């Protein structure tokens, strides 16, 4: 069985936890309304006014003028995320983080120690609330797709279980709108609307051949999901062929400078994970999904493997600037990853011949140590300050 654990309004909830005066008030984490900032997160009080992530901060201020607007503290949120992940790893080593605030856990092999998956999910939810003083929504299901949908259905503070038998899976899926299926966006959704299909149950009545005729290769994917089929494994960092992070924006983003700021944040998260697991990677990837759900990936292979943040960032930024056609703007989803992973120890002698690389590597090592000891706000990149200004 798989758990999907998703923190509720994570960044904003961390701010409320640290300053109880914010509780009950609309809180927005993001850039200033006076500049070109965007909303990184909004609590549920702010969402009632139509505020959501990736919305321009100026627009958010117009929608909710009484909101408290706070600058993001991404390194601090990353530190809190590590505390949460340590709780996950008490129950299973099979943890696949998707971002700072969500992860998949395979607890199939943990039942003998901790009881059935439902009990493990409740224990994790209680541990996070008690120890980190934050609220998580949890989905428990036979596979990743079902678990992720389940965690989202009763937010905030949700807990939804999907049983393993086929009847339970279909009873769970059939009433849901067809838009819940991964890959159903504006264009595909409009096609289903023309066919009079609104729910997953109605889609399930179509044969695999019919879906293939209508949607090509995507049709087989949709048929599998409509039947609750998803064979993907939970892959922890140490086994991953790619270490990556991605984020889906609540509103599409067309401003390339805002996208660069988000890409820097994703790159920093990936670089820290590489160093934490003493890995280096040689190929840098970015993933861009347009508003119409067309998706492209672009990759660049470096002369040598690295886990130095600046080297990964320079490659990722070039891919975004030079190899993403303008027709893919605005962007719905942005991701960054590194593949060609190699144990760091194997590369030490070769890598440190380059003085510039050596200095950048030392800078990352020192920064990691300082932030680990004194907190993630003790040190920050100049480029991050520029992101905050934006």
If you write DSSP's letter for every residue of 356-380 in order, what string do you get?
Answer: HHHHHHHHHHHHHHHHHHH-GGG--
Domain membership of residue 345 (yes or no) is yes
**The predicted structure's pLDDT at residue 34:** 59
110: pLDDT confidence band, cut at 50, 70 and 90? Answer: very high
Give phi and psi for 286, each to the nearest 5. Answer: -125, 150
Q: What are the beta bridge partners of residue 159? A: 138
Tokens in use for 297?
């990936």
The reply to whether 311 and 222 lie within a common domain is no
- 303/305 Cα distance (integer angstroms): 7
The candidate with the shortest Cα–Cα distance to 152, out of 124, 112, 179, 184, is 179
Q: Residue 375 pLDDT > 50, yes or no?
A: no
User: How would you classify residue 339: left for phi > 0, otherwise alpha for psi between -120 and 50, otherwise beta?
Assistant: beta
Query: What residues are annotated to the active site?
Result: 102
Domain membership of residue 52 (yes or no) is no
| Number of residues written out for the chain | 390
Predicted confidence (pLDDT) per residue in 122-150, tens digit: 999 999 999 999 999 999 999 999 999 99
Residue linked to tokens 């998703």: 6
> What single-letter DSSP state applies at residue 130?
I
CATH number at residue 211: 1.10.150.20
**The predicted structure's pLDDT at residue 379:** 53
Q: Residue 390 pLDDT > 70, yes or no?
A: no
The reply to whether 255 and 345 lie within a common domain is yes
Determine contact, residues 204/226, Cβ cutoff 8 Å.
Answer: yes
The reply to whether 201 and 301 lie within a common domain is no
Per DSSP bridges, beta strands 68-70 and 27-30 are parallel
Q: What are the beta bridge partners of residue 284? A: 300, 338
The reply to whether 186 and 246 lie within a common domain is no
The reply to whether 287 and 347 lie within a common domain is yes
- 347/23 Cα distance (integer angstroms): 49
Q: Residue 50 pLDDT > 50, yes or no?
A: yes
Q: What are the beta bridge partners of residue 339? A: 242, 283
The reply to whether 206 and 334 lie within a common domain is no
Predicted confidence (pLDDT) per residue in 241-274, tens digit: 888 888 888 678 888 888 998 899 899 889 988 8
19: pLDDT confidence band, cut at 50, 70 and 90? Answer: very high
- 260/276 Cα distance (integer angstroms): 24
357: pLDDT confidence band, cut at 50, 70 and 90? Answer: low
Domain membership of residue 327 (yes or no) is yes
- Average model confidence (pLDDT) across the chain: 86
- 227/173 Cα distance (integer angstroms): 8
- 115/77 Cα distance (integer angstroms): 31
**The predicted structure's pLDDT at residue 293:** 74
Q: Residue 386 pLDDT > 80, yes or no?
A: no
Q: Residue 339 pLDDT > 90, yes or no?
A: yes
Please indicate whether residue 100 or residue 344 has the higher confidence score (pLDDT): 100
Q: Residue 387 pLDDT > 50, yes or no?
A: no
The reply to whether 353 and 292 lie within a common domain is yes
Predicted confidence (pLDDT) per residue in 309-338, tens digit: 999 999 999 999 999 998 888 898 899 999
């Amino acid at each position: 069985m798989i758990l999907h654990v998703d923190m509720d309004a994570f960044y904003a909830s961390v701010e409320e936890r640290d300053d109880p005066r914010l509780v009950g008030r609309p809180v927005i984490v993001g850039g200033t309304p006076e500049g070109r900032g965007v909303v990184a997160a909004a609590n549920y009080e702010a969402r009632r006014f139509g505020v959501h992530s990736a919305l321009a901060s100026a627009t958010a201020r117009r929608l909710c003028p009484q909101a408290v607007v706070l600058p993001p503290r991404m390194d601090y949120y990353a530190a809190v995320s590590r505390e949460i992940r340590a709780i996950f790893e008490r129950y299973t080593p099979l943890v696949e983080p998707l971002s700072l605030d969500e992860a998949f856990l395979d607890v199939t092999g943990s039942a003998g120690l901790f009881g059935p998956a439902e009990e493990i999910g409740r224990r994790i939810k209680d541990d996070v609330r008690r120890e980190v003083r934050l609220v998580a929504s949890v989905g428990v299901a036979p596979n990743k797709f079902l678990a992720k949908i389940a965690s989202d259905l009763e937010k905030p503070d949700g807990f939804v279980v999907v049983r393993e038998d086929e009847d339970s899976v279909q009873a769970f899926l059939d009433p849901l709108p067809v838009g819940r299926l991964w890959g159903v966006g504006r264009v595909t959704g409009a096609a289903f609307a023309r066919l009079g299909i609104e729910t997953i149950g109605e889609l399930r009545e179509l044969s695999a051949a019919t879906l293939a005729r209508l949607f090509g290769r995507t049709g087989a994917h949709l048929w599998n999901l409509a039947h609750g089929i998803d064979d993907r494994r939970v892959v922890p960092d140490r086994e991953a062929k790619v270490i990556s992070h991605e984020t889906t924006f609540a509103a599409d983003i067309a401003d390339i400078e805002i996208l660069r700021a988000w890409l820097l944040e994703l790159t920093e998260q990936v670089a820290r994970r590489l160093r934490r697991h003493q890995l280096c990677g040689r190929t840098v990837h970015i993933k861009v999904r347009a508003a119409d759900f067309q998706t492209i990936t672009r990759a660049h292979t470096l002369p040598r493997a690295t886990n130095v943040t600046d080297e990964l960032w320079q490659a990722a930024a070039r891919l975004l600037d030079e190899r993403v056609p303008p027709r893919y703007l605005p962007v719905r989803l942005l991701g960054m990853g590194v593949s060609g992973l190699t144990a760091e120890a194997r590369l030490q002698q070769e890598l440190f011949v380059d003085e510039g690389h050596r200095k950048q590597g030392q800078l990352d090592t020192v920064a990691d140590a300082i932030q680990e000891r004194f907190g993630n706000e003790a040190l920050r990149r100049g480029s991050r300050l520029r992101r905050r200004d934006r």
